[in-house]
C-alpha cells in the first residue's frame, strides 16, 4: 500500500462520500475510487459497504482507519524531521478561512508568501467561523483564519489583523430613526444577515444583546450564505446589514451604499491552530508571514 492510498482511504472514511473526498484531495472521483479498489484487491478485504449512491465503512474499514491515520501522522512527523534538519521550507499547507478573510484579506498575502517560499503548495477552503473551527479540530486543515468567536479550548488563537464593521443600507434607503444620537433603532430596520455560525451574524447578535433586545424580535427579512449575496441584496434596497468594511468600502465610495453611524467594536482576524499538533517549518513560516503582513496593514 502507498501513502497516497492511505490518504484517500482516510479522506473517504471521514467524509463518507467519494466525490467530496476527491475534491478535498484535488483528484478526480474516478482516481479516488480506483485507489480504494486497488487497496481492497491488494489485501483481499472490503473496506466500505456501498449503499445505493452512498458508502459507509465496513467492519474491516473501521478497524483499519485508526491505523491508517497513525501511519499518515508518522509520515508527516518524519517529513518534518527532515525539513527541520535541512531547513528547507517545502511541503503543503491546507488553510481554512472564513469568507471575508478568504475573499478580501488573504489572497495578496498568499501571493507574497508564494514568492518567498515557492516550494510550498497552498490550498484554501472557505466556510463560516464554525465550519473553519471544525476543520482545524479534525485535522482537515493545518490552521484556520476566522473573525468570529471560537468555542474549543484545544485551539490556539493568534491575532493577525483588525477588521472594522459597518452598518450599511442602500443609498436610497429612508432615514433611520435613532433611539439616541449614534444609536439607530435596530428594531425598526429590516435585516439581511448571514447564516448561523458566521462572524458577522455574531456581531448583530451581540449588538441586540447590548441594546437589551431579543435577537428573535429583530425583523430578519433574509438569510444568505455569502457576503457578496448580502451586499447585493442591500444594494438592491432589500434592507440593512452589518458587514466588514473590506466587503463594502468600494460600494460606499461609489455611492450605491451608505454607512449608518453606529458604535460597533472592531473585531480581530485570528489564526487558529490545534494545541496538540506540532507545526511544520512551512506552517511556522506562513504564520510569521501573515503576522508581519498584518503589522504593515492594521487599520487604525
Most confident of 28-32, 137-141, 145-149, 255-259: 255-259
What pLDDT shows up at residue 96? Answer: 96
Q: What is the percentage of the chain residues whose pLDDT exceeds 90?
A: 53
Domains 3-73 and 165-265 share a fold: no
Domain boundaries, the chain: 3-73, 86-160+268-293, 165-265
What pLDDT shows up at residue 55? Answer: 86
- Average pLDDT over the chain reads 88
Judge whether 193 and 241 are in contact, CB under 8 Å.
yes
Phi then psi for 154, rounded to 5 degrees?
-100, 15
Average pLDDT over residues 136-157: 91
What pLDDT shows up at residue 293? Answer: 55
Whether residue 94 has pLDDT greater than 80: yes
pLDDT of 236-287, one tens digit each? 999 999 999 999 999 999 999 999 999 888 899 999 999 888 888 888 889 8
What pLDDT shows up at residue 299? Answer: 33
pLDDT band at 135, cuts 50/70/90? very high
Topology annotation, domain 165-265: D-Maltodextrin-Binding Protein; domain 2 (3.40.190)
More confident residue, 178 or 33: 33
C-alpha to C-alpha distance for 97 and 160, rounded to whole angstroms: 13
Judge whether 267 and 163 are in contact, CB under 8 Å.
yes
Q: Read off the pTM.
A: 0.65
Topology annotation, domain 86-160+268-293: D-Maltodextrin-Binding Protein; domain 2 (3.40.190)
pLDDT of 27-85, one tens digit each? 888 998 899 999 899 999 999 988 777 788 999 989 999 999 989 888 887 777 666 65
For 256, residues 6+ apart whose C-beta sits below 8 A from its C-beta are 170, 171, 235
What pLDDT shows up at residue 87? Answer: 58
HEC profile for the chain? CCHHHHHHHHHHHHHCCHHHHHHHHCCCHHHHHHHHHHHHHHHCCCCEEEECCEEEECHHHHHHHHHHHHHHHHHHHHHHHHHHHHCCCCEEEEEEECHHHHHHHHHHHHHHHHHHCCCEEEEEEECCHHHHHHHHHCCCCCEEEECCCCCCCCEEEEEEEEECEEEEEECCCCCCCEEECCEECCCCCEEEEECCCCHHHHHHHHHHHHCCCCHHHCEEEEEECCHHHHHHHHHCCCCEEEEEHHHHHHHHHHCCEEEECCCCCCEEEEEEEECCCCCCHHHHHHHHHHHHHHHHHCCC
What pLDDT shows up at residue 82? Answer: 65
Q: What is the percentage of the chain residues whose pLDDT exceeds 70?
A: 94
What pLDDT shows up at residue 149? Answer: 85
- What is the number of residues in the chain? 300
Least confident of 5-19, 79-93, 160-174: 79-93
**Of 132, 126, 145, 99, which Cα lies nearest the Cα of 244?**
99
What pLDDT shows up at residue 214? Answer: 94
What pLDDT shows up at residue 1? Answer: 84
In CATH, what class is 3-73? mainly alpha
Average pLDDT over residues 4-18: 89
pLDDT band at 93, cuts 50/70/90? very high
pLDDT band at 193, cuts 50/70/90? very high
Whether residue 158 has pLDDT greater than 50: yes
What pLDDT shows up at residue 52? Answer: 73
For 128, residues 6+ apart whose C-beta sits below 8 A from its C-beta are 98, 99, 148, 194, 195, 197, 198, 199
Whether residue 132 has pLDDT greater than 60: yes
Amino acid at each position: 500500500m502507498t501513502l497516497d492510498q492511505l490518504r484517500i482511504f482516510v479522506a473517504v472514511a471521514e467524509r463518507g462520500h467519494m466525490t467530496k473526498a476527491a475534491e478535498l484531495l484535488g483528484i478526480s472521483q474516478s482516481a479516488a475510487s480506483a485507489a480504494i479498489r486497488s487497496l481492497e484487491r491488494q489485501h483481499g478485504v472490503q473496506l466500505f459497504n456501498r449503499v445505493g449512491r452512498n458508502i459507509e465503512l465496513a467492519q474491516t474499514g473501521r478497524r483499519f482507519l485508526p491505523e491508517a491515520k497513525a501511519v499518515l501522522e508518522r509520515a508527516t512527523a518524519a517529513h518534518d524531521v527532515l525539513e527541520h534538519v535541512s531547513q528547507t521550507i517545502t511541503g503543503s499547507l491546507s488553510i481554512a478561512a472564513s469568507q471575508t478573510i478568504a475573499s478580501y484579506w488573504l489572497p495578496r498575502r498568499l501571493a507574497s508568501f508564494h514568492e518567498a517560499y515557492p516550494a510550498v503548495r497552498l490550498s484554501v477552503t472557505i466556510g463560516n467561523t464554525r465550519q473553519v473551527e471544525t476543520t482545524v479540530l479534525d485535522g482537515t486543515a493545518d490552521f484556520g483564519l476566522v473573525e468570529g468567536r471560537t468555542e474549543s479550548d484545544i485551539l490556539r488563537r493568534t491575532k493577525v489583523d483588525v477588521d472594522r464593521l459597518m452598518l450599511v443600507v442602500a443609498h436610497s434607503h429612508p432615514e433611520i430613526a435613532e433611539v439616541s444620537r449614534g444609536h439607530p433603532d435596530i428594531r425598526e430596520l429590516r435585516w439581511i444577515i448571514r447564516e448561523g455560525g458566521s462572524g458577522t451574524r455574531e456581531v448583530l447578535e451581540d449588538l441586540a444583546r447590548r441594546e437589551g433586545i431579543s435577537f428573535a424580535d429583530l425583523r430578519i427579512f433574509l438569510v444568505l450564505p455569502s457576503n457578496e449575496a448580502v451586499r447585493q441584496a442591500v444594494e438592491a434596497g432589500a434592507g440593512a446589514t452589518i458587514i466588514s468594511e473590506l466587503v463594502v468600502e468600494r460600494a460606499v465610495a461609489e455611492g450605491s451604499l451608505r454607512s449608518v453611524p453606529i458604535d460597533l467594536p472592531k473585531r480581530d482576524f485570528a489564526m487558529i491552530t490545534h494545541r496538540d499538533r506540532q507545526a511544520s517549518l512551512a506552517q511556522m513560516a506562513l504564520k510569521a508571514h501573515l503576522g508581519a503582513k498584518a503589522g504593515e496593514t492594521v487599520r487604525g
